Structure 1
């Protein structure tokens, strides 16, 4: 199971006021509706729990388009960006190309912009693996929630650099 050993992401109550001041964006693909709806709903729910009630959401056709939408948010100086998507392996090399483009594009954006990008892009061999990670009832993992909290936790950490 990929979730084994994952950190328990909890925002310190002292940081909740800081969370409410963050500008958070979500870029979400549209392929695999059931999984994507769950990832997006769970990311929004996690953000609401820590005081971020209205993140800006951009929907794009697929995972290949995630980096350009995230880049647009970075140019507008969002404090954290959450990227959500699903790619399920097929019988062609398309899977590798899309996964590599999304991963490399989002990683490059985070490093070059200094804006945390929560990586909630599922790269699965089967549809069932995606369902198991979507945070649906019976799912083993909730990658939408994890990506949202990771991005916010990193944004708070980076903002703390200026306080010392």
Structure 2
């Protein structure tokens, strides 16, 4: 039988940075409520959470990059959540912003090897955005809540891999799996 490795959602002691867009405010504020609820439900202290507001979704990767670079020296955060909402209008602007934010956050995530959960809704209609940012938030109706759970699972899995890296956690049948 194959070995299975996964994280858990225990959040005690985890330091979280949240980068959130102010654009589409009612939706992103609902996502933030969901993320904060999910973190709190799983043991993350309010004192271990800092929220940074940027004007729009396009600015999320820039601030995330700055925070991750600073974090390599000061170790202020264990994880990040990015929150935003882009809704399609009548022009191609939606595609450009959605792609730039998605690619930017993904690149930073991989480059800095720190979990940065992507909770930027890219919706065709306002209704889709409201359906994904339920208020009051629950695990089943709010993508912010879901993002907080994914984030905790990833950091705990990564911590486990680091703690066990000297043992056989990533070693199977004398073959070392190297993840970059």
TM-score by length of 2: 0.78
Q: SS of 2:114's equivalent?
A: coil
Computed over aligned residues only, the root mean square deviation of the Cα atoms, in angstroms, reads 1.8
Q: Which moved more, 1:54-63 or 1:135-144?
A: 135-144
Matched ranges for 1:1-164 at <5 A: 11=9, 16=10, 19-54=11-46, 55-75=49-69, 76=71, 77=75, 78-137=77-136, 141-164=141-164
Change (3 A) 1:133 1:10: farther
Deviations 1:27-81 (A, max 9, x none): 1001112111110111011111112122110000110011111112212242111
TM-aligned CA deviation for residue 10 of structure 1: 6.3
- Checking the alignment, whether the CA contact within 8 Å between 2:137 and 2:145 is kept in structure 1 is no
**Which segments of 5 or more consecutive residues in structure 2 lack a partner in the other structure?**
1-6, 165-180
Taking the aligned partners of 1:68 and 1:152, their CA distance within structure 2 comes to 23
In the alignment of these two chains, the number of paired residues is 150
Gaps in structure 1 of 5+ consecutive residues: 1-8
Higher Cα radius of gyration? 2
Worse-superposed segment, 87-96 or 137-146: 137-146
Q: TM-score if structure 1 supplies the norm length?
A: 0.85
